[in-house]
Structure 1
Amino acid sequence: MKIKTSVLAIIFSIMVSNPTFSQIDVNITDIETDETIPFSRIYETYKLDKELPTLVITWSAKWCSPCMQLIERYNKCDLSMLNVITVNVDTEEYLDEVLDDGYHQDWDNTYNFHGNIGEDEKGFDNVFNVKSAPLILYLDNGKINDATVSYSVYPYKLLQAGRINDIEFIWDSAEDLNSLAWSYYNTENDPARLNEAIKWVKRSIDLRENYSNTDTYAALLFKTGEYTNALKAAKQAIEIAKSKGQDYESTTDLINKIIEKL
């Protein structure tokens, strides 16, 4: 998906330039323990490394399944390199039902809260526009550095932006390894960097082979001049697509380009 931003991001770009607005002054409640704390105490309460970058991601089970999918992708990452805090923003009317459904119960690598919606002046909805989700806050040393509303601030984009510098961060995420490799196919011409991307997409295939990463593999082999192997991978991608009823027109175009080179 393409990144979707809102006026909220512009507002934050102004707010965070003023130190008085750079701290998050809201109360949040631990989903597991039901303990409510000010957000400003989260680092000391949960023994979080304040020197690590921190992402806050809001979610709602009632109207934002992409929020939950985004959080699930982060749960596949090495979160010793990043603090991820999730905040449920369902209203009090729906909160018990949402939590009973257990959408968050497999999120073992993140710190999971709800935002006291509608409860007091320090509820999440009195500070942020909770109807725009997922709201992503990026914190450096406990202070807001960036904010946006987007379904697609995927983990691999933190590597693209240089905010995470270790590929091990996404080494267990087939989706993110493939996405990063595909971005290199589109933007890189340096053979060494393209060969790095091939390593990533091969790891993605090892984790979970699918049409998308097999097509990426074929495209990277083509771009590095491995035409015979590229043709083999492209045909494999098409076979996978056919078995899943997926469109494979772009791979057919790639095969035509490969044949021209052979």
Structure 2
Amino acid sequence: MKKAISVFVFFLFFITINQSYSQIDVNVTDIKSEETFSFSNVYDNYDLDKSLPTMVITWSGKWCYPCINLINRYMDCDLSMLNLITINVDAEENLVDILDEGHHQNWDKAINLHANLGEDEKGFDNVFNVTSAPLVLYLVDGMISDAVVSYSLYPYRLLQTDRIKDINFIWDSSRDLNSLAWGIYSNEDDVEKLELAKEWVLRSMKLEKTYSNTDTYAALLYKTGDYTQSLKLAKQAIEIAKENDQDYSSTTELINKVIEKL
């Protein structure tokens, strides 16, 4: 299935911090314990491995359900390879109702905080733009490497950009395995890489067989010259699409290409 693979679009915002992450002097509060502390102490407070990459994602239950979806995607990943920190940025008058919805209770692999807003120079919103979420901060060795506002900084993109090199990071995420495999189909002609992508999409289908990953597998079979199997899988993809009222025009195009080869 055709999916746009976008590059990181970096969001420029005013940020008054020292170069070292350990020097960011803003307050945050642990959602569960309600303990307030300086953001700079997060590694020590939670005994996080500073040698691992760290991702911070801001979210709001009031107006940013794509933020919640993004964080949910990471819950299917092996977070022994990544420190994940979520920070709720809802205003105080909304905070109780938002937390009562319990999204963060499902994020047991993450450190879940909420931002202290409007606290003069200690307020999270004095340093970061909290009106643009999800703000994603990527840290290496405790220092901010990248900052981006993106709904689609999904886990597979960390492998695409070599931020994480182990496929086991997304081995239990059907959607991310499929997206990574589709990226190989779209951008690579190397046979070894295409065969590897087949393994990923087969794992994706084992976890959850969908129109998207069945179509991806059909496309990979086509690109590696297995036209008979490609046609078979493309037809399966269309049947799944029909059952779920999904558009399958790209698969029809693929079938036409396959027929030309047979």
TM-score by length of 2: 0.94
Superposition RMSD in Å: 1.8
Separation in 2, partners of 1:205, 1:6: 33
Kept after mapping to 1: 8 A contact 2:10/2:147: no
Cα deviation digits, residues 73-114 of structure 1 (max 9, x gap): 111100000000000000001000000111111111111000
- 2:74 counterpart residue number: 74
Identity of aligned residues (%): 63
Cα deviation digits, residues 36-76 of structure 1 (max 9, x gap): 11111111110100000000000000110000000001111
Separation in 2, partners of 1:193, 1:3: 21
Equivalent AA in structure 2 for residue 159 of structure 1: L
Selected match of 1:8 from 8, 12, 15:
12
Deviates more, 1:22-31 or 1:105-114: 22-31
Separation in 2, partners of 1:169, 1:40: 27
- 1:240 counterpart residue number: 240
- 1:121 counterpart residue number: 121
Return closer, same or farther for 1:126/1:173 CA change in 2, 3 Å cut-off.
same
> Secondary structure at the residue paired with 1:105?
helix
Deviation for aligned residue 1:204: 0.4
- 2:201 counterpart residue number: 201
Equivalent AA in structure 1 for residue 74 of structure 2: Y
Unmatched 5+ stretches in structure 2: none
Kept after mapping to 1: 8 A contact 2:241/2:247: yes
Output aligned runs, 1:78-227, within 5 Å.
Answer: 78-227=78-227
Kept after mapping to 2: 8 A contact 1:170/1:176: yes
Kept after mapping to 1: 8 A contact 2:54/2:82: yes
Separation in 2, partners of 1:47, 1:157: 26
Q: Is the counterpart of residue 26 in structure 1 residue 30 in structure 2?
A: no
Return closer, same or farther for 1:36/1:150 CA change in 2, 3 Å cut-off.
same
> Secondary structure at the residue paired with 1:49?
coil
Equivalences, count: 258
TM-score by length of 1: 0.94
Separation in 2, partners of 1:33, 1:219: 49
> Secondary structure at the residue paired with 1:250?
helix
Return closer, same or farther for 1:190/1:134 CA change in 2, 3 Å cut-off.
same
Following TM superposition, the consecutive aligned residue runs of length 4 or more in structure 1 with deviations greater than 3 angstroms are: 1-7, 20-23
Deviation for aligned residue 1:3: 6.2
Equivalent AA in structure 2 for residue 132 of structure 1: S
Deviation for aligned residue 1:170: 0.3
Equivalent AA in structure 2 for residue 185 of structure 1: Y
Kept after mapping to 1: 8 A contact 2:28/2:113: yes
Deviation for aligned residue 1:141: 1.1
Return closer, same or farther for 1:22/1:261 CA change in 2, 3 Å cut-off.
farther
